[in-house]
Structure 1
Amino acid sequence: MKIMLLTHSFTPEISPPQRRWSIIADELAQLGHDVTVVTPTSSRVVTDNHKRLLDNPRVKLQNYPSLRRSRTMMGKVLKHGVDALLSVPAALTGGKPDIIIATVPAIPTLVVGYVASRLRRVPMVVDLRDAWPDLLRESQVIKFRWLEPLVSRFISFVVNRSEMLITVTHGLAHKMKINGAMNVATISNGVETEGADLTVAPRIHDGKLHILYLGNIGRSQGLDTVIRAMKYVPSSVQLRIVGQGTEKNKLIALADELGVNVDFREPVYGQDVLENYSWADTCLVSLRPDWASFRYTVPSKLYELLYLNQHVTGLVQGEAAEIIIASESGIVVEQCVGGFAEYINFMVSNPESWQTPRRGREWVKTHASLRKSGREYSKLLAEVVRANSNR
């Protein structure tokens, strides 16, 4: 097959969609498919880890110019919108594909995918990684109240007219079927499980409890609950927050206001990520509880933590909570200040509760291998192309 992928982030960028699609695209190429990736030009340096994929003759990048990254929510919305317009020529040029995949978010990519598929008369598959359009309403990212329902209806219109919708969770698939989507499948997120085995050096305990959050620091994570709870735990508890995002400055100000000691650090990559995990007794995975769509959302970071056999503290609901429990990799905690503080105090008094059976890696290999996802994608795309050719 000749596959065109539209995505706002791809190798050598570092992001959740890049991690998902770099592996899946590589697996599709190894299965003999030709993959054309329409994606913004990257300013990042290409490392040895990226070269094997980028040197693959079956994976071709069609880059287009892009606005600089923004740290504000409105800036990100503007960037995705402008980037989508700039991507149109790249999506309409070159050899005709057999099928187009639009991975969402960013939402404007969905529009480009729909337009390109209709103009080029090929089927479109939507790869939906977040709970749109519900998340659009809950996040209130669109400030004009009259506009949000229009955008939500448009998203539903395009999704329901795609030849196939692929979600990353079963709960989201069920929700989209209720909303009218007909041909829906689930291919979960995950990690690379067939490369070099990464390991985290075990921490030498010193009587202190180390709590780590590493990832995006935005409105979705609800990390203010964690910081407020630090007022009610012993000074031997150390909280480190590593990353960047729209809420970081607000959280720094909140910690100063409350007089709690939080070690905020800049984003890290590669070996530095493993060193932070080695520092931690437990790693936080958090989604705010007041957005209902997060009941069928699983943070991609969770799969990485499980694969590295880290102890996980889950401030999550729904499928994410079920995964933590099923993999025996940590504890799901009540999503409030009092509940989290009570849990931390219990951890301090019972250090044996930090231990897990270390079965996370095996769970991921069985349920969340991106290599397996690539093979599942290949079968589903072939079915769509075959059904479309018989019309």
Structure 2
Amino acid sequence: MKVMLLTHSFTPEISPPQRRWSIIVDELGQLGHEITVVTPKSNRIATKRQRRLLDSPYVTLQHYPSMRRSKTMLGKVLKHGVDAVLSVPAAFRRQKPDVIVATVPAIPTLIVGFVASRLRRVPLVVDLRDAWPDLLSESQVIKFRWVEPVISKLISFIVNRSDMLVTVTQGLAFKMQRNGMENIATIPNGVETERADLEVSQRESDGEFHILYLGNIGRSQGLETVIRAMKHVPENVRLRIVGQGTEKAKLVRLAMDLGLDIDFQDPVYGQRVLENYSWADTCVVSLRPDWPSFNHTVPSKLYELLYLNQHVTGLVRGEAAEIIRDSNAGVVIEQDASALSSYINEVVANPKILQTNHSGTDWVRKHGSLRQAGRDYAKLLATVIDAHAKR
């Protein structure tokens, strides 16, 4: 079958949708399918591993010009809107596909996917990675009150008229089903469990306790809780926050106001990610507690940490918390600075609590293989195409 994928980020970019879809696309290709990826032009230099995918005969990239990345929320929204307009010609340039897949939360990508599927008369599959449209109202990312309901209704309109909705969590699937959506499947996030080159060396004890957060530093993460907890822990506890995002400057100021020596670092990639994991005794996964949609949101980073045998300190609820408990590779803490500091003091006194015995690795191999996700997607897309042909 011929698949067209619309996504705001693809190889050689480094992002959650890129990590998910580069493996799924590769698996679809190895199964004999042809994939056209409509995505913004990237200035990143592809690694040798990425070039293997980009040079494969079953993948065709349709690039379009893109605005530069912005650190502000308004800038990100503007970039997605402009990129969507520029992507329209690319979505019609190649031969007619059998099915179009649009990844969300890049909302303009959803709109382009819907228009392209209707004009080309092919089925549309929506890959919903976050809890939209509810998350849109909870985050208040749109400052004009009258705009948010309009966009939320537009999202619901398109999603409800897609031929298939794919969610990454069961909770989100159940919620969308209660909202009236009928054709829903769940294909979770994960990692490429077949890679043998990902290995993290174990840290030797040196009298210090190291806590690492590595990832996006935005409003969704609620990392101020972690910083406030550091006010009440022993001096031998070190916190390192690696990444970039709209809230980083505020967190740096908060740490300074509290008189805390926190190691803020810029984003890292590849081998340097593994080096940071080797530095850590535990890795934080955090989602703020006051947005209900996060009950059925699982950060993609969680799968990576578990697969690489990292101990996880989870400031999360819902399905993400269930995964941490089920994997026996970490602990879920109440999303409160006092509760977190108490736990840190407990672990410093008894570091054996951090032993995971590769239980997280085993769990991800069973439940979080992106290669298996690619095979599941192939079966699902074939079903969608057959159903559309019978109408």
Q: TM-score range by the shorter chain?
A: over 0.9
Tell me the equivalent position of 2:35: 35
> CA deviation digits over 1:149-185, x for unaligned, max 9?
1110110010000000000000000011111111000
Structure 1 residues 86-127: Cα deviation after superposition (integer angstroms, max 9, x where no partner):
000001121000000000010110000000000000000000
Q: Could you say what secondary structure the match of 2:166 adopts?
A: strand
Partner of 1:61: 61
| Equivalent-residue separation in structure 1 for 2:251 and 2:179 (angstroms) | 36
Q: Deviations over 1:188-216 (max 9, x none)?
A: 00001112241111101112110000000
Q: Find the counterpart in structure 2 of residue 236 from structure 1.
A: 236
Alpha-carbon distance between aligned partners in 1 of 2:364 and 2:274, rounded to the nearest angstrom? 18
Deviation at 1:324, TM superposition (A): 0.5
Counterpart Cα distance in 2 of 1:88 and 1:191: 31
Distance between the aligned counterparts of 1:3 and 1:27, measured in 2?
13
| Structure 2 residue aligned with 1:90 | 90
Unaligned runs of 5+ in 1: none
Corresponding letter in the other structure for 2:304:
E
Q: In structure 2, how many angstroms separate the alpha carbons of the residues matched to 1:354 and 1:362?
A: 17
Q: Which residue of 2 aligns with 1:365?
A: 365
Amino acid at match of 2:90: A
Greater Cα shift, 126-135 or 353-362: 353-362
Name the amino acid aligned to 1:3: V
1:10 is paired with a residue of what secondary structure?
coil
Equivalent in the alignment of 1:195: 195
Q: Which residue of 2 aligns with 1:167?
A: 167
CA deviations over 1:269-323 (Å, ceiling 9, x no partner): 1111111000000000000000000010000000000110000000000000000
* Cα distance in 2 between the residues matched to 1:174 and 1:165: 12
Which residue pairs with 1:212 in the alignment?
Answer: 212
- Tell me if structure 2 keeps the 8 A contact 1:328–1:357: no
Say which SS state the counterpart of residue 220 (structure 2) adopts.
helix
Which letter does structure 1 place at the counterpart of 2:2?
K
AA matched with 1:208? E
TM-score (norm 1): 0.99
* Structure 1 letter corresponding to 2:330: G
- Report the Cα distance in structure 2 between the residues aligned to 1:45 and 1:15, rounded to whole angstroms: 15
Deviation at 1:243, TM superposition (A): 0.5
Q: Does residue 1:12 correspond to 2:15, yes or no?
A: no
1:340 maps to 340
| Match in the other structure for 2:380 | 380
Does the 8 Å contact 1:239/1:262 carry over to 2? Answer: yes
After TM superposition, which residue ranges in structure 1, 4 or more long, deviate above 3 angstroms? none
Question: Which residue of 1 is the match for residue 267 of structure 2?
Answer: 267
Q: What amino acid is the match of 2:387?
A: A
Deviation at 1:49, TM superposition (A): 1.4
**Residue in structure 2 matched with residue 3 of structure 1 by the alignment:** 3
Cα drift, residue 349 of structure 1 = 1.2
Q: Which amino acid aligns with 1:306?
A: L
Find the residue that maps to 2:102 and give its secondary structure.
strand
Distance of 1:6 and 1:145 partners within structure 2: 29
Equivalent-residue separation in structure 2 for 1:56 and 1:362 (angstroms)? 31
Residue in structure 2 matched with residue 314 of structure 1 by the alignment: 314
Q: Distance in 1 between matches of 2:102 and 2:351?
A: 46
Matched position secondary structure for 2:358: coil
Segments of 5+ residues of structure 2 without an aligned counterpart are none
C-alpha separation in 1, matches of 2:333 and 2:313 = 7
Residue aligned with 2:321, SS:
helix
Question: What is the letter of the counterpart of residue 100 of structure 1?
Answer: I
AA matched with 2:71: R
SS of alignment partner, residue 213 of structure 2: strand
Secondary structure of the residue aligned to 1:221 is coil
CA distance in 1, matches of 2:358, 2:311: 8
State the one-letter code of the partner of 2:271.
Q
Counterpart Cα distance in 1 of 2:380 and 2:61: 23
Aligned length: 391
Root mean square deviation, CA, Å: 0.6
Partner residue in 2 for 1:104: 104
Residues in 2 aligned to 1:261 and 1:240: alpha-carbon distance in whole angstroms: 10
What TM-score comes out, normalization by structure 2 length?
0.99
Mean Cα displacement is larger for which, 192-201 or 50-59? Answer: 192-201
- Identity over aligned pairs, percent: 71
- Aligned partner of 1:45 in structure 2 is 45
Q: For each residue in 1:352-384, what CA deviation from the matched residue of structure 2 results, as whole angstroms up to 9, or x when unmatched? A: 111123211111111010000000000000000
The alignment status of 1:122 with 2:122, answered yes or no, reads yes
Amino acid at match of 1:178: R
Q: Shift of residue 139 of structure 1?
A: 0.4
The one-letter code sitting in structure 1 at the alignment partner of 2:329 is S
Q: Secondary structure at the match of 2:137?
A: helix
Q: Which letter does structure 2 place at the counterpart of 1:259? A: G
Aligned partner of 2:281 in structure 1 is: 281
Contact 1:102 1:109 in 2 (8 A): yes
Aligned residue identity for 2:302: L
DSSP-derived class of the 2:26 partner? helix
Q: Which residue of 2 aligns with 1:254?
A: 254
Aligned equivalents of 2:202 and 2:234: distance in 1? 23
The answer to whether 1:181 aligns with 2:160 is no
